[in-house]
Amino acid sequence: MFKDLFSLQGRVALVTGGSRGIGKMITAGFLSQGAAKVYITARKAGPCEATAKELTAEYGGECVALPIDISNLTGIEMLATEIKKREPKLDILVNNAGAAWGADFDEFPESGWDKVMNLNVKTPFFLTKALAAPLRAAATAEKPAKVINIASIDGIFVNPMETYSYAASKSGLIHLTRRMAVRLIRDHIVVSAIAPGPFQSDMNKAARDNADEVSKRVPSGRIGTDEDMAGAAIYLASRAGDYVVGATIAVDGGIVYANPGIKGEGWD
């Protein structure tokens, strides 16, 4: 009964922003658990194709690069068209592509607001909508399709860094996850979210470049590893997470619960 609880054998997934950082961690995790094919997107073709080649060589499944800018509706529709052209069914969608912007309150620009809100909130909604047909085609009551949104602990507690649009976007994505979950569960599509804390990535330069220093401020005493992020995503994507509807899981070593307000330095 529990033998294949975390297996992704034969499943087809799409991970946006999958060429590096958290997206790459999740992609590798899916392939390690038997996913047949994982499509990854990124704006830059070179790194996207390099990651796809690397992960295909390392694991049994196939990683396919689709370098498309999905920060606007044109790119979103282009990606959805590519997926639907190649696959009749999509088992898993991970909305991971994101952006951040920091500036003093009195100087925060509209461009920094719009760029972040568009990619972090608008794109997950409209990409999920554009891929609803292949997700519904894959979904059954016994084996639901999955949508996993990558939020942030900055959407749960107040980070002291002045990243206004980023914090608002990630909080919005967490609530959007709940709203989408209520609607899509009717179609046997389970929507959930992960709120990462400090992981090594280009977006989290503090964790990437000063892991030892950041680790001192994490209750667990360390920053997150590839296995930590992959494990949470595999759980939600597999049979193990079928009954986790609308929830956001903080994968942060305990930061949120140890730091409920403005305290210390930013994590994400």
C-alpha span between 65 and 180 (Å, rounded): 27
Residue 195: phi, psi to the nearest 5?
Answer: -110, 95
One-letter amino acid at 19 equals S
Domain count, the chain: 1
Does any domain span residue 223? yes
Reported as a single tens digit per residue, the pLDDT across 116-158 is 999 999 999 999 999 999 999 999 999 999 999 999 999 999 8
- The answer to whether position 42 is within a domain reads yes
Q: Determine the pLDDT at residue 261.
A: 54
User: What percent of the chain is modeled with pLDDT above 70?
Assistant: 91
Residue 48 maps to a domain: yes
Q: Which residues are catalytic?
A: 166
pLDDT confidence bin for 21, thresholds 50/70/90: very high
Say what the pTM is.
0.94
- For residue 94, the domain's CATH number is 3.40.50.720
pLDDT-derived band at 268 (thresholds 50, 70, 90) equals very low
Domain span at residue 63? 12-256
Residue 217 domain flag? yes
Is 71 within a domain?
yes
Residue 164 lies in a domain: yes
Whether 32 is in a domain gets the answer: yes
Domain assignment present for residue 267? The answer is: no
